[in-house]
């Protein structure tokens, strides 16, 4: 895989050419930025920027004024190769707070088409209705130790509006949810985004994470997506690296609360 070429493709398709996440959201191109304006309760932020040192501060001020006028908290999703090189420092100076850095990791889908079955007694189920969403939320809450209301809202909305663009999975030991994961399939792009992948304590280290990646890779391949993409935390980055995912750049959310 040509890392530089794939990163450039990712920028063009997933950032500059981004699509709205829901029917009531919109993408706007304003000067040197591409921004996502969320619908009711949806995510808002800057997805891509092509700035120079001379115009960066003015562009930041313009985005703050715009989203403040809407009353939206928003995020500037900064990638390690974005310019100018000190854009992160400029964002902090303008009042943004940086969330933990993640790593953009990509693998060719064909490299993940392996025989990786879940542990004995566990089955992977596709989530298509509210009952499945509740199982998925339960697994997520037990895995990460935080409220999963946001995930419930996201899944129900996406399954209602764009079911073909979301793959939601829950792993069940009998009838008990022990892991979950999802995949975003953006039409017109070559990247399938892997999200979630949380496993309940007591079931970790038994192959569920790997099985869920392989399961999603098979679906992505069937639907014609040549690349799998993950925003990896420090915890998942070494695991994904061992599975053949390449680190292409870093990504840091800078959050502005009006």
pLDDT at position 157: 86
Indicate the pTM of the whole model.
0.92
Q: If you average pLDDT over residues 139-168, what whole number do you get?
A: 91
The pLDDT-based confidence of 24 (bands split at 50, 70, 90) is confident
pLDDT at position 77: 97
Q: If you average pLDDT over residues 25-50, what whole number do you get?
A: 93
pLDDT at position 61: 97
Report the candidate in 191, 196, 179 with the shortest Cα–Cα distance to residue 12.
Answer: 191
pLDDT at position 42: 83
Asked if 96 and 254 count as a contact pair (C-beta separation under 8 A), the reply is: yes
55-72 pLDDT, tens digit per residue, is 999 999 999 999 999 999
Whether the pLDDT of residue 87 is over 90: the answer is: yes
Q: If you average pLDDT over residues 37-63, what whole number do you get?
A: 94
The pLDDT-based confidence of 41 (bands split at 50, 70, 90) is confident
88-133 pLDDT, tens digit per residue, is 999 999 999 999 999 999 999 999 999 999 999 999 999 999 999 9
Whether the pLDDT of residue 202 is over 80: the answer is: yes
Q: If you average pLDDT over residues 142-163, what whole number do you get?
A: 89
- Across the chain, mean pLDDT equals 95
SS3 of the chain: the string is CCHHHHHHHHHHHHHHCCCCCCCCCEEEEECCEEEEECCCCCCCEEEEECCCCCCHHHHHHHHHHHHHHHCCCEEEEEECCCCCCCHHHHHHHCCCEECCCEEEEEEEHHHHCCCCCCCCCEEEEECCCHHHHHHHHHHHHHHHCCCCHHHHHHHHHHHHHCHHHEEEEEEEECCEEEEEEEEEECCCCCEEEEEEEEECCCCCCCCHHHHHHHHHHHHHHHCCCCEEEEEECCCCHHHHHHCCCEEEEEEEEEEECC
Asked if 124 and 171 count as a contact pair (C-beta separation under 8 A), the reply is: yes
Whether the pLDDT of residue 139 is over 90: the answer is: yes
In this predicted model, which residue has the larger pLDDT, 235 or 57? 57
Q: If you average pLDDT over residues 150-156, what whole number do you get?
A: 90
186-199 pLDDT, tens digit per residue, is 899 999 999 988 99
Whether the pLDDT of residue 31 is over 90: the answer is: no
């Amino acid at each position: 895989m040509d890392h530089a070429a794939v990163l450039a493709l990712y920028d063009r398709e997933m950032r500059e050419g981004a699509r709205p996440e829901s029917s009531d959201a919109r993408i706007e191109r304003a000067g040197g930025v591409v921004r996502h304006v969320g619908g009711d309760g949806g995510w808002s932020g800057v997805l891509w920027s092509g700035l120079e040192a001379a115009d960066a501060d003015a562009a930041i001020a313009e985005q703050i004024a715009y989203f403040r006028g809407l009353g939206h908290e928003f995020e500037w999703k900064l990638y390690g190769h974005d310019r100018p090189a000190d854009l992160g420092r400029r964002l902090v100076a303008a009042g943004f707070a940086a969330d933990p850095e993640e790593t953009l990791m990509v693998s060719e889908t064909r490299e993940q088409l392996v025989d990786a079955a879940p542990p004995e007694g566990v089955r992977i189920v596709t989530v298509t209705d509210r009952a499945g969403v509740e199982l998925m939320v339960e697994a997520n809450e037990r895995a990460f130790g935080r409220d999963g209301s946001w995930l419930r809202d996201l899944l129900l909305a996406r399954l209602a509006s764009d079911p073909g663009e979301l793959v939601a999975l829950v792993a069940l030991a009998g009838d008990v949810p022990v892991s979950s994961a999802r995949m975003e399939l953006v039409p017109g792009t070559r990247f399938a985004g892997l999200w979630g992948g949380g496993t309940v304590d007591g079931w970790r280290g038994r192959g569920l994470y790997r099985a869920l990646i392989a399961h999603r890779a098979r679906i992505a391949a069937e639907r014609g997506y040549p690349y799998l993409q993950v925003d990896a935390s420090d915890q998942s980055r070494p695991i994904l690296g061992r599975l053949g995912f390449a680190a292409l750049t870093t990504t840091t959310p800078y959050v502005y609360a009006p």
